[in-house]
Homo-oligomer: A and B are copies of this chain.
Amino acid sequence: MTESRFLKACRREAVDATPVWFMRQAGRYMAEYRAIREKHTLLEIVKQPELAAEVTLQPVRAFKVDAAILFADILLPLQPMGVDFEFVKGEGPVIHNPVRTQADVDALRPLHPEETLAHVMDAIRLLRTELVNTPLIGFSGAPFTVASYMIEGGPSRDYKTTKLMMYSAPELWHALMGKLSTALAEYLTAQINAGAQAVQLFDSWVGALSPMDYETFVLPYSKKVLDAAHSTGVPVINFGTGTATLLPLMRQAGGDVIGLDWRVPLESGWQTIGHDKAVQGNLDPVALFAPIPEMKKRIHDVLRRAEGRPGHIFNVGHGILQHTPEENVKAAVEIVHEYQA
Contacts and interface: CB of A to CB of B under 8 A. Distances in A.
Nearest to A269: B245
Interface in A14-64: none
Per CB-CB distance, the 6 closest pairs between chain A and chain B, nearest first, are: A244-B244, A167-B290, A163-B286, A210-B262, A244-B245, A167-B294
A215 to B, nearest CB: 11
Contact of A242 (B158, B168, B242): B242
Contacts of A263: 207, 209-211, 242, 244-245
17 contacts: A158-B285, A158-B286, A160-B321, A163-B284, A163-B286, A164-B289, A167-B286, A167-B289, A167-B298, A168-B289, A207-B263, A210-B265, A210-B284, A212-B265, A242-B263, A244-B263, A245-B268
A105 interface: no
Interface residues of A, number: 33
Interface string A259-288: 000111100100000000000000011110
Given A207-B263, A210-B265, A210-B284, 4 more contacts: A163-B286, A167-B286, A167-B298, A245-B264
Interface in A146-187: 158-160, 163-164, 167-168
A253 to B, nearest CB: 17
Interface of A: 158-160, 163-164, 167-168, 207, 209-213, 242, 244-245, 262-265, 268, 284-287, 289-291, 294-295, 298, 301, 321
A160 B212 contact: no
For this chain, the copies found in one complex come to 2
Nearest to A262: B210
A22 to B, nearest CB: 15
Contacts of A164: 286, 289-290
A130 B168 CA distance: 39
A285 B160 CA distance: 9
A25 to B, nearest CB: 17
Nearest to A290: B167
Q: Chain B CB within 10 Å — which of A159, A160, A209 has the most?
A: A160
B291 A158 contact: no
A210 B264 CA distance: 7
Contacts of A210: 262-263, 265, 284
A41 B190 CA distance: 55
Given A242-B242, A265-B211, A321 B158 contact: yes
B286 A168 contact: no
